[in-house]
Structure 1
Amino acid sequence: MQAITMALKVHVLAAVFGMGSWIAINGLWVELPLIVPEIPEGWYLPSYLTIIIQLANVGPLFVTLMHKFCPRKLDESAVIYAIVCLGIVACFLLPFFWKVTSTFAGALHSTVLLVLAFFLSLVDCTSSVTFLPFMTRLQPKFLTSYFIGEGLSGLVPGLVALGQGVGVVSCVNMTINTTGSVPSNSTGGDSYSIVALYQPANFPPKVFFFFLSGMMSLCLMAFILLNYLPESHHQRATSNYVKQTEAANGGADLSTVEVAEMRPMISPSDGQQEARVKTIFRTGRYSPSEMVLIFLVLAWVNALTNAVLPSVQTYSCLPYGYLAYHLSAALGAMANPLACFVAMFYPNR
């Protein structure tokens, strides 16, 4: 019973730790419908954010180059401490400065918001190449909890944003005096215009950003406990597993690695496909044409998911108003973790 309780604590900590991987940027995306009406960039903001997120990939590039040219010189724990603390500070500054504007290149921009968005993107992009290597120090069963937490990084902000709402929009006739000499109750020099009045949401973006800061703080606490909690030390991976993982990552013969998970998914009647899969697992190599196809598919899917679709989301939702944009942003952030949840029960290779 005590062993089960210890393992359960580590599972929960791994999930909370994984939740901090992408919760900052996912939270910023679902909050865009409430930010867009109040900043100079307006509907262009998603396009700005898409470019900023791509620029933030310098973080993973730096970590990858360090592992390539200076192996064993980079301490993942130190990097994780740095990026998570950076994420906490950036999220904490957002409530106070997201409306601050300044003139840049002859136009008014939300400079502080864009700079903080870059730091948040740097945190989340770098987490992809640092959190997972740290998790390999624990037993393999805790990776599932980590990935569940990573999925929750999109689901939780989406649910909070749905509870926040986007406010009620009402259209009213406004009277505009064009002459300045006719009383306001007269129609002599008045013109009329229909104006949209936006009622406030259930709570403002300021509260939502504080929520993101709190979630990043929970991620830091979970990481500290995974490092120093006695229950976590009892769930460390065995030396044999670590050596096997390092050998696999180093390009060693993968025929010794157990791949039973894949076997039931291969049709017994398809002898050629089964032989090809066995060859891939034995040699760890794909043919040049297979490699080209795999990378083309990856490039196409990632371009759509991380660049094309988010940048045009505002324009596709513009004719339907802020409510449609709010729902599409919140539900879109929830779609990925829900799809991953289904894939856990219906795997398909």
Structure 2
Amino acid sequence: MGLGIHILVCLLGIGSWVAVNGLWVELPLMVPRAPEGWFLPSCLTVIIQLANVGPLLVTLLHRFLPGRLSEVGVICAILGLGSLACLLLAFFWETTTLVGGAPHSTALFVLFFFLALVDCTSSVTFLPYMRKLQPEYLSTYFVGEGLSGLLPGLVALGQGVGAVHCVNGSLGNATGLQAEYQEARFSVHTFFLFLSSMMGLCLASFLLLNYLPAARKERAKEKCQAQLQPGHLSEPHRAAEGGPVTRRPCGSAFCASGCFQVACIFGMLAWANALTNGALPAVQSYSCLPYGNVAYHLSATLAALANPLACCVGMFLPNRSLVLMGALSVAGSLFASYIMAMAVLSPCPPLLQSSLGSVLIVLSWVLFVGLFSYVKLMISKILRDKGHSSLVWCGAVVQLGSMVGALAMFPLVSVYGLFLSGDPCEADCLG
């Protein structure tokens, strides 16, 4: 039954971000039919940040009303809400109303807010719930979380989203290659029905995980896992020496870590999520499209695949050394710097006419995502052993880092126009 529990945990992880990730990969088909046009992604980015009110509320309730919040009830509620919101999107995403005399996608915005609320809140509910299970299932959860981006991306590829044919066309008095997007194999309506069924499957898997007798046998034993600070005597030794015994509360968040270690752990976690969930996704098209449509799709697909693969590596080769985590974070940041530099130099980055340029940008995306995915998994494993409240704060820092990264990039991309798009068919940069 162990394999069955791993599958259920993986499905729970998929439910964490599959709704928002799914809508995001569907944007190329939605944008031409939305009154906002290509300003739509910027609007949705702002809505995601507004939805952080969910994890903020949950974190405050855990802080000021400990033990009052039922995680099982909250998880069931948000998964049910996500299923319903996806179902309603399938029928109403094109519905518009007049706001200020102009049509706007109000139904899409409202329903997307609920989807973002579900996914953002999952960071501070799913992770703390995972502490109820044996430690090895945490890696499986992160594999599922990685698949929450890969699965809808693969379905969208099968749908034909963003597939481009370069055809000869006239541009004024000149002729050249123009991008022509092929018609999708199935509709946006069908895609949202798929997302709704995925959310429903995740809800069913959570109910089985929580109430199935075989799953309940996989619960972690409730015992204090807190350790004393390095260099301190254990309680029995102090008692033997006649010294005072100071009992630490079971599940104390940082009872085994000094302030510097805590700052390093949460600093790396916030930085990793600021880059992977906020800053770099905003410039992925700018960094890749100048090298062609193939490079863009390979970087998006292989980077999404790198996430669950890195978590699988973490499952079999765990290493909780903060020195290693710091080294991997530095390496990931170097790849992120290269990606950002190529985005800034778009549409004429270096090695544009060479296949080496395409290889480097795809490899940079894969290693960037893979390294930081491993770091995030190992940090979560460290915090799992510190207690329930540590995982709540882990989820809160994940959302905080993601929010800061997204908000930092929003004005650069959408307001000041720092980045210029490359043409997937014309790779020449003259003059």
Same fold (TM over 0.5): yes
* Cα 1:334/1:152, change in 2 over 3 Å: same
Show the counterpart of 2:387: none
Show the counterpart of 1:203: 186
Once residues 37 and 299 of structure 2 are traced to their aligned partners in structure 1, the CA distance between those partners, rounded to angstroms, is 17
Is the Cα–Cα contact under 8 Å of residues 166 and 326 in structure 1 kept in the other structure?
A: no
* Cα 1:127/1:20, change in 2 over 3 Å: same
How far does the alpha carbon of each residue in 1:71-125 deviate from its partner, in whole angstroms, 9 at most, with x for none?
1111111111111110000111111111112222443321111211111111011
Q: CA deviation at 1:342?
A: 4.4
Is the Cα–Cα contact under 8 Å of residues 8 and 209 in structure 2 kept in the other structure?
A: yes
Match of 2:113 among 118, 123, 126: 118
How far does the alpha carbon of each residue in 1:116-174 deviate from its partner, in whole angstroms, 9 at most, with x for none?
11111110111111112222222222222222222221221122122221376568999
Show the counterpart of 1:302: 273
Is the Cα–Cα contact under 8 Å of residues 44 and 109 in structure 2 kept in the other structure?
A: yes
Give yes or no for the alignment of 1:286 onto 2:259: yes
Q: CA deviation at 1:313?
A: 4.5
Q: CA deviation at 1:346?
A: 5.8
* Cα 1:167/1:296, change in 2 over 3 Å: closer
Match of 1:250 among 227, 252, 255: 252
Is the Cα–Cα contact under 8 Å of residues 21 and 127 in structure 1 kept in the other structure?
A: yes
Q: CA deviation at 1:67?
A: 0.7
Give yes or no for the alignment of 1:221 onto 2:216: no
Show the counterpart of 2:54: 59
**Given residue 98 of structure 1, which amino acid in structure 2 is its aligned partner?**
W
Is the Cα–Cα contact under 8 Å of residues 226 and 252 in structure 2 kept in the other structure?
A: no
Give yes or no for the alignment of 1:134 onto 2:136: no
Give yes or no for the alignment of 1:9 onto 2:4: yes
The range that moved more, 9-18 or 312-321, is 312-321
Once residues 96 and 328 of structure 1 are traced to their aligned partners in structure 2, the CA distance between those partners, rounded to angstroms, is 32
Show the counterpart of 2:38: 43
* Cα 1:117/1:106, change in 2 over 3 Å: same
Once residues 145 and 61 of structure 1 are traced to their aligned partners in structure 2, the CA distance between those partners, rounded to angstroms, is 26
Match of 1:21 among 16, 22, 25: 16
**Given residue 107 of structure 1, which amino acid in structure 2 is its aligned partner?**
A
Is the Cα–Cα contact under 8 Å of residues 15 and 148 in structure 2 kept in the other structure?
A: yes
Q: CA deviation at 1:44?
A: 1.8
Which structure 1 segments of 5+ residues have no match?
1-5, 175-193, 255-283
* Cα 1:321/1:110, change in 2 over 3 Å: farther
How far does the alpha carbon of each residue in 1:257-300 deviate from its partner, in whole angstroms, 9 at most, with x for none?
xxxxxxxxxxxxxxxxxxxxxxxxxxx1133xx76676665555
Q: CA deviation at 1:330?
A: 4.9
* Cα 1:84/1:41, change in 2 over 3 Å: same
**Given residue 98 of structure 2, which amino acid in structure 1 is its aligned partner?**
T
Give yes or no for the alignment of 1:233 onto 2:206: no
Is the Cα–Cα contact under 8 Å of residues 160 and 182 in structure 2 kept in the other structure?
A: no
**Given residue 203 of structure 1, which amino acid in structure 2 is its aligned partner?**
F
SS of the aligned residue for 1:108 comes to strand
Is the Cα–Cα contact under 8 Å of residues 46 and 314 in structure 1 kept in the other structure?
A: no
Aligned residues: 295
Show the counterpart of 1:340: 311
Q: CA deviation at 1:326?
A: 6.3
Is the Cα–Cα contact under 8 Å of residues 166 and 322 in structure 1 kept in the other structure?
A: no
Once residues 306 and 156 of structure 2 are traced to their aligned partners in structure 1, the CA distance between those partners, rounded to angstroms, is 14
* Cα 1:298/1:94, change in 2 over 3 Å: same
Once residues 133 and 172 of structure 1 are traced to their aligned partners in structure 2, the CA distance between those partners, rounded to angstroms, is 52
Once residues 72 and 98 of structure 2 are traced to their aligned partners in structure 1, the CA distance between those partners, rounded to angstroms, is 39
* Cα 1:141/1:334, change in 2 over 3 Å: closer
Provide TM-score, normalisation by structure 1. Answer: 0.72
Once residues 129 and 178 of structure 2 are traced to their aligned partners in structure 1, the CA distance between those partners, rounded to angstroms, is 54
Give yes or no for the alignment of 1:99 onto 2:101: no
* Cα 1:252/1:296, change in 2 over 3 Å: closer
Q: CA deviation at 1:347?
A: 5.4
Is the Cα–Cα contact under 8 Å of residues 132 and 219 in structure 2 kept in the other structure?
A: yes
Q: CA deviation at 1:218?
A: 0.8
Give yes or no for the alignment of 1:145 onto 2:140: yes
Once residues 206 and 238 of structure 1 are traced to their aligned partners in structure 2, the CA distance between those partners, rounded to angstroms, is 45
Which structure 2 segments of 5+ residues have no match?
170-176, 228-247, 320-431
Give yes or no for the alignment of 1:30 onto 2:18: no
SS of the aligned residue for 1:103 comes to strand
Once residues 115 and 132 of structure 1 are traced to their aligned partners in structure 2, the CA distance between those partners, rounded to angstroms, is 26
Once residues 40 and 325 of structure 1 are traced to their aligned partners in structure 2, the CA distance between those partners, rounded to angstroms, is 26
Show the counterpart of 1:262: none
RMSD over aligned Cα, in angstroms? 3.4
SS of the aligned residue for 2:223 comes to helix
